[in-house]
Chains A and B, each alone.
Chain A
Amino acid sequence: MSTEHKTPKDFRRKVERADRWSRRVITTGGYGIIISIVSILLFLIYQSLPLAKGASINEILSMPATRSENPVVLTGVDPYLEVFYELDNRGSIKFYNVDSKALIKEDQLPLKANEKILTAAKGNLTKEIFTVGSDSGRLITSSIEMKPEYTKSGRTIEAMVYQEEEWQAATENDTIPNHIEKLTFVENSDGTRVWSWIDHTGKLWLRIYDAEDEEEYLYDLSEDISGQITSFSLSHNAENLVVALKDKNVYWFDISDFEKIQLKDRWTLETIADAVNYLLGDQAVAIGGQDGSVSVWFPVRSPANLFKFRKVHEFISHNAAIDQIYVSSRNRNFLTVDTKGNVKLHYSTTGQTQLEFKPADFPVTAAAFSPKSNAILVVDGQKRFSLYNLENPHPETTLKTLFGKVWYEGYPKEEFVWQSTGGSDEFESKLSLIPLIFGTFKGTLFAMFFSVPLAIFAAIYVSQFAPKRLARQIKPTIEIMAALPSVVIGFLAGLYFSPLFEEYLMVIFLFVILLPLFFLIALFIWQRIPEKMQARFPLGIEILFVIPIGIITLVFAMSFDHVVEQILFQGNFQQWLYSTLQITYETRNSLVVGFALGFAVIPIIFTVSEDAISNVPESLSSASLALGASKWQTVRRVVLPAASGGIFAAIMLGLGRAVGETMIVLMATGNTPIIDLNPFNGFRAMSACIAVEIPEAPVGGTLYRVLFFTGLLLFVFTFIVNTLSSLIGDRLRKKYARF
């Protein structure tokens, strides 16, 4: 008896235990999926969030007033922020340790007794080479090297001063030497050096040492300029000189041909420019006005095909006249310093003023970016040194540059541009996401144009019209298409299909046009066949007629393509396209991608919508048929509306797949990030762009983060598409599919 009682109890306990366990496993699985999706999202946000961070500084050194009265004319810091130097107007160069503030080395420029430095200028953004101009008319060029030395105890910075050259400006008489009042100096990558200065008579001089031919040139530019000069700047490649005058005129000289200095342009400002400076890239000039205004100008090609300087960006103004501008060696950052000692940090391309600070109560006499642009060194009138750490990881990306039109240097107008890498260090990456978003949607659109009608008509045919036996064969065949790796489709499309497409463009064009026509003819003939004969064919045999009609159409298209091309397109379609519509034909174009991508999404759309249509209860179609509706009326008026939710979901699923699809768009397009609806052009999709560029993007850099942000956008797009599909799908289902 007892054993009989025990068994059902045991059994019940066993069932309960199994229940509990399965519940746990299922719950864990469900939460696991949610957690992994959320963590992907969080990771994407985490990687792209630093893009939104602005610039910030914090003071790492403040060294109060020093031992000598002589004002500082030049300062700088080594790349590791361990040693900085000052050069005073007596030619004394002192190196200090940042941490201990101790004087570690002292040197002296070869000045004569009582000779004073009136002006000093650095000549290179990456090297500490500089020239000083003295009151006795001498230009003394020297360089400083602060080299790291690795010893057992760690890294020490070895500071050295090298004398490069001296030059004496000609004097009219010895009693009044030719003062060098203000000076700019450039040494370009070839070693060519250019000096430009104003002497005490107000004359502007230009001296060039051509390193290649070892020749020297000296020009008096005052002949071309009339008026008092307020500021001037040489471009870092030693090809341009801009000169601002008190009468608000600015002169632009082309000095690239050393034998023939050319005045290229002259324009008038709204204010007197007290400071001008060429930015990195040698195109854009930052102009600081006496009224405190800050603007960036660069040459833009005019309709007459001449380059004219135009004001492109304007920044937050200072409250006092600007007297110094310092340029970053890494990016389009520059510092403006006004006479009251306020400092602002701007970024040229974005037009943003990123920072504003006042290092001291006294005017600033000299400032410098560190070589890596990760610090700013400022000296005030009381010889107080301040060193600031500059945290400014991604100044070139703002919402405006990612999604808006930006006026880049060398471009005729504001544009959406994606160009992440260029030839030189001065190259500025242009990271507008609009071309990529456009590309993604262009590809998706073409794919949907091609796949949605095909897939849905196929689904309708298979579920409603095809003989059962045929349907049973077709469905798995199409589903197998989904298992085809997209890299195979992309490969075939890009390497095999696209050249074929180009070669047989006319044939395909004709085929697409003629096929429906031939079908109509065939249908017409079919209706002429007496019903008795029709009835002899098994149901669904019509599908067998499709193939011969297709073949006949193809043969027809292939034999008449030349004739049609001759008549309609003057013998060559691509040339006609170019000459009449100004459209260039790319081999890997959007049509090819549309086919390939469409091919990839057809199985999804087909399967899901076929299921939806088959799931419409037979009782509904029976009711419709019993009311005298024809098969097609039943499909159109009853079955399709009832399946509309599912069909909609199918299209959205296909859309989601097409938006995220990578390999096909990567391999079958030229990946050119252009915004152009023309079907014979390529495009670059977000997903393909990520795949192409992420291996090249330095980890943590702007491109890297922008690519992650692109990924985040893709995620959001897919999320929106899916949410929309389930919302609208639900509504449709509520309305039509309550059976």
Chain B
Amino acid sequence: MIETESGVFLEKTKKDEILTPETKIDKSVKPVLAMSNEKIVIETKTLDFYYNADAHALKNINIHIPDKKVTAFIGPSGCGKSTLLRCFNRMNDLISDAFHTGEILINGVDIYKEGTRLEDLRKQVGMVFQKSNPFPMSIWENVAFGPKVNGINDKDELNEIVESALKQGDLWREVKDRMQNSALDLSGGQQQRLCIARALANKPEIILMDEPASALDPISTGKIEETIEELKKNYTIVIVTHNMQQAARISDYTAFMMLGELIEVDLTKKIFTNPTQKLTEDYITGRFG
């Protein structure tokens, strides 16, 4: 507001231009691929995302993400995988100049619908970050954090939740005797599994993972992959990865993105063996990326 008048003026026109009613939802554009035979949990309709009026990060994304499956996002660096992932729990709202057009539906409901509580959405859509980020608190406090901020105060109930979350996160055996120790004393791999357990403690429906194993050694990575394998029975998982083998190993579906566009989505097997798009094949075979 305190910027030069011309600055404010310019910014407004550009953003307003993007947000003209006609461009808001362009029904003419078809989704690249819809996995119609599955129950769909997340769905985007002509989603365009801007970090600011000059940074058009996602372009016309139409994707269906099926229930209780692992969907992997792959693509070259900077193509918008993380951006798209963060759209699903509205983490991008934190960026002050960012805005979007189009719709994001979870279970058929627009997550930007008036009256949506952000806290409820994020409880429903958990997230695991690339770099493990445990709170500087005890292990127990870390896992119990989500339930606590969402209103659960009963100690026994919390204990139960913590135990089951840690078991699902495959960390229970290692930490059950030192629940009150600082989470920061855990190894890197353990910390990341703690973050997974922390997300699970909220009993989410969907878990978003942004390169959860990229900073870890192969053994820790293996453990995380096992955990994901185990989790997909109960959760819808969306994972961003740079590791093609990892995508091939753990995911049921793979989405390939480039320069903010969704190029192709299909069964992982199909993408890795017989992609429809030339770009996808080039990327998979390592001709660029």
Contact = CB atoms under 8 A, between A and B. Distances in A.
Contacts of B198: 623, 627
B136 A627 contact: no
Chain B residues touching A, range: 20 to 34
A330 B64 CA distance: 100
B202 A627 contact: yes
B110 to A, nearest CB: 15
Contact of B1 (A469, A532, A739): A469
Interface of A: 467-469, 473, 531-532, 538-539, 617, 619-620, 622-630, 633, 637-638, 641-642, 735-739
A630 B126 contact: no
Contacts of A627: 122-123, 126, 145-146, 149, 198-199, 202
Given A531-B114, A622-B133, A623-B195, A628 B202 contact: yes
B149 A623 contact: no
B3 A531 contact: no
16 contacts: A468-B96, A531-B114, A619-B133, A620-B133, A622-B94, A623-B129, A623-B134, A625-B122, A626-B122, A626-B127, A626-B199, A627-B123, A627-B126, A627-B199, A628-B120, A633-B149
B131 interface: yes
Interface in B245-276: none
Which among A469, A629, A638, A737 has the greatest number of chain B C-beta atoms within 10 A?
A629
Contact of A628 (B2, B135, B146): B146
A735 B126 contact: no
A541 to B, nearest CB: 9
B91 A473 contact: no
A626 B126 contact: yes
Interface string B37-59: 00000000000000000000000
Nearest to A617: B133
Contact of A630 (B3, B89, B119, B184): B119
A629 B119 contact: yes
Contact of A737 (B120, B131, B136): B136
Contacts of B214: none
Nearest to B199: A627
B243 interface: no
Nearest to B208: A626
B131 A625 contact: no
B286 interface: no
Which among A468, A531, A637 has the greatest number of chain B C-beta atoms within 10 A?
A637
B21 interface: no
A473 to B, nearest CB: 7
B13 interface: no
Contacts, number: 81
Q: Which 9 A-B residue pairings sit nearest by Cβ, starting from the closest?
A: A628-B123, A629-B149, A627-B146, A619-B133, A626-B127, A628-B122, A628-B119, A736-B136, A623-B133
Nearest to A544: B1
B187 interface: no
A467 B96 contact: yes
Contacts of A622: 91, 94, 129, 133
A323 B87 CA distance: 102
Given A626-B127, A630-B149, 13 more contacts: A531-B115, A619-B129, A620-B135, A623-B134, A624-B149, A626-B129, A627-B146, A627-B149, A628-B119, A629-B146, A629-B149, A642-B136, A736-B136
Contact of B136 (A532, A626, A630, A735): A735
B164 to A, nearest CB: 16
B107 interface: no
A738 B184 contact: yes
A737 B136 CA distance: 7
A628 B150 contact: yes
Contacts of A620: 133, 135-136
A629 B199 CA distance: 12
Contacts of B1: 469, 538
A623 B184 CA distance: 15
B136 A738 contact: yes
Contacts of A473: 2
B96 A539 contact: yes
Interface in B1-48: 1-3
Given A467-B96, A539-B96, A637-B149, A624 B91 contact: no
B136 to A, nearest CB: 5
Nearest to B136: A736
Contact of A629 (B96, B137, B145, B195): B145
B165 to A, nearest CB: 12
A736 B3 CA distance: 38
A617 B202 CA distance: 23
A469 B133 contact: no
A739 B136 contact: yes
B149 A628 contact: yes
Interface string B142-169: 0001100110000000000000000000
Given A531-B114, A532-B114, A625 B91 contact: yes
Given A628-B149, A630-B149, A633-B149, A623 B135 contact: yes
A694 B276 CA distance: 91
A539 B119 CA distance: 18
A620 B129 CA distance: 10
B206 to A, nearest CB: 12
Nearest to B121: A628
Given A628-B150, A633-B149, A619 B131 contact: yes
A538 B2 CA distance: 13
B145 A469 contact: no
A185 B277 CA distance: 126
A539 B97 CA distance: 11
A453 B94 CA distance: 27
Nearest to B128: A626
A738 B146 CA distance: 21
Contacts of B120: 628
Contacts of A532: 114
Contacts of B146: 627-629
Nearest to B183: A738
B123 to A, nearest CB: 4
A274 to B, nearest CB: 77
A622 B123 CA distance: 13
B82 to A, nearest CB: 12
A629 B127 CA distance: 13
Contact of A626 (B3, B91, B182, B184): B91
Which among B120, B122, B136 has the greatest number of chain A C-beta atoms within 10 A?
B136
A678 to B, nearest CB: 43
Nearest to A473: B2
A629 B144 CA distance: 12
Contacts of B133: 617, 619-620, 622-623
A467 B89 CA distance: 22
B135 A638 contact: yes
Nearest to A468: B96
Which among A623, A629, A739 has the greatest number of chain B C-beta atoms within 10 A?
A623
B88 to A, nearest CB: 11
Contacts of B2: 469, 473
A426 B133 CA distance: 74
Which among A467, A469, A620, A626 has the greatest number of chain B C-beta atoms within 10 A?
A626
B89 A626 contact: yes
Which among B126, B134, B135, B198 has the greatest number of chain A C-beta atoms within 10 A?
B135
A277 B198 CA distance: 86
A470 B240 CA distance: 35
B235 to A, nearest CB: 15
A637 B136 contact: no
B25 to A, nearest CB: 20
A619 B132 CA distance: 9
A479 B2 CA distance: 20
Nearest to A530: B114
A726 B133 CA distance: 26
A638 B149 CA distance: 11
Interface in B43-96: 89, 91, 94, 96
Contacts of A736: 136
Nearest to B125: A626
A469 B182 CA distance: 37
